[in-house]
Structure 1
């Protein structure tokens, strides 16, 4: 009779070790997914430092300044555009003329050097996005930027993952609004029935045959 090579509890030790290894892998994967979806990775809700502490809440909600006054190219170009210093000074040559918070703006105006803002939404080079197309098709500012009119300091509202973008491309009727409401931050999609929104999709000639989910639409 051959001698016992492994101890009697070897099987139990092996199974426990295997279970522990599986749980370790699951834990690592869960931690990675959690980090990938967290604000530490997506920057959602985090306002980056800016050369001027510009408040959208003050300018949009309180002063009722239209988005297009500062983002002048949003209806006609791929980018919404940062406001020129001259735009800022059209008001601040008269108000807050000595505020230290606006020293950067005054210096920019005097020297001609533009203010260097830190981007909040910075898409990768392999992603194509056109603001003017989305505005023309009835997609409102708040659909992507959230209630930026309520933010003291601008922060990212959406992670901009591909799946999030595809959600709108697959069902534009869930997000579309009349063109005249695009810049209305308080617009509620339920203000129109589903049938009315579907009619807007037809009226604005938005493809519903799957073309909007083709790779080349965003990756060119």
Structure 2
């Protein structure tokens, strides 16, 4: 019987199998990237109800982050500024600006019906627990340190419109929880942008890391109202998944 197909056709099934594996792998990687926080969240820059410039307020005017985010040191949530906080300045400064119409309406309302609906940008999944106060106040006494605002939020003082700089993914969090020394800084430098550690602080951070449990891993503690030291975040699973 005459040969119908050329001999190279014998390799077709093998090549098809290899191609399927390669294309499947590429497709899987593509879907993983498309669904990862780095793709879906980094760069997220929603339009806010008021054109608030962090570059102006935190950069040019050098306002402390905690003036507006007043609960960051004592609450799991940093909070957003109330209308009253904004009007402390804007009752006099730019009080007739059309860009602040929503602020004036909220202030005049007085009932909360016209509260400013700020759009949240940074949010971890509902199955993960995050406590701001634990991160800006790690340890107690001489071993007290903080994670700087810019570590998670980027150079906020250079942003006219705030966007998400970091993925806030599990891997990203674990990188810090297992080696926090690189990100620890003095508490009074918490809001300082582009802060660089000096040799003395590097030594201090290394000493703080040795006091963590287990050594070198982030096991954040704070004092409760009774003055007792309590653990509020740990390197283990239960630190974030409760």
Q: Settle same-fold status: TM greater than 0.5.
A: yes
Identify the match of residue 65 of structure 1 among 63, 66, 80.
Answer: 63
For residue 184 of structure 2, what is the aligned residue in structure 1?
176
Q: Is the 8 A contact 1:176 1:200 kept in 2?
A: no
For residue 214 of structure 2, what is the aligned residue in structure 1?
208
Structure 2: distance between partners of 1:156 and 1:206 = 29
Q: Is the 8 A contact 1:173 1:197 kept in 2?
A: yes
Structure 2: distance between partners of 1:4 and 1:190 = 79
Whichever structure has more helix as a proportion of its residues is: 1
Q: Is the 8 A contact 2:68 2:80 kept in 1?
A: yes
Mapped pair 1:46 → 2:69: no
Structure 2: distance between partners of 1:193 and 1:85 = 39
Structure 2: distance between partners of 1:194 and 1:91 = 39
TM-score normalised per structure 1: 0.88
Q: Is the 8 A contact 2:153 2:166 kept in 1?
A: yes
* Mean Cα deviation higher: 11-20 or 126-135: 11-20
For residue 218 of structure 1, what is the aligned residue in structure 2?
240
Deviation at 1:46, TM superposition (A): 3.0
Structure 1's 219 and 130: CA in aligned 2 closer, same or farther, altered over 3 A? same
Deviation at 1:190, TM superposition (A): 5.5
Deviation at 1:207, TM superposition (A): 2.9
Structure 1: distance between partners of 2:169 and 2:134 = 19
Q: Is the 8 A contact 2:148 2:192 kept in 1?
A: yes
Q: Is the 8 A contact 1:175 1:189 kept in 2?
A: no
Mapped pair 1:75 → 2:73: yes
Q: Is the 8 A contact 1:177 1:200 kept in 2?
A: no
Structure 1: distance between partners of 2:172 and 2:34 = 17
1:115-126 aligned at under 5 Å gives the runs 115-126=116-127
Give the match's secondary structure for 2:86: helix
Residues 24-80 of structure 1 deviation map (CA, whole Å, 9 limit, x = unaligned): 1022022123323575412x1231111011111100111111111101111111100
> Which sections of structure 1, spanning at least 5 residues, go unmatched?
none
Structure 2: distance between partners of 1:193 and 1:92 = 39
1:160-171 aligned at under 5 Å gives the runs 160-171=168-179
Structure 2: distance between partners of 1:140 and 1:91 = 26
Deviation at 1:206, TM superposition (A): 3.8
**Alignment size in residue pairs:** 216
Give the match's secondary structure for 2:147: coil
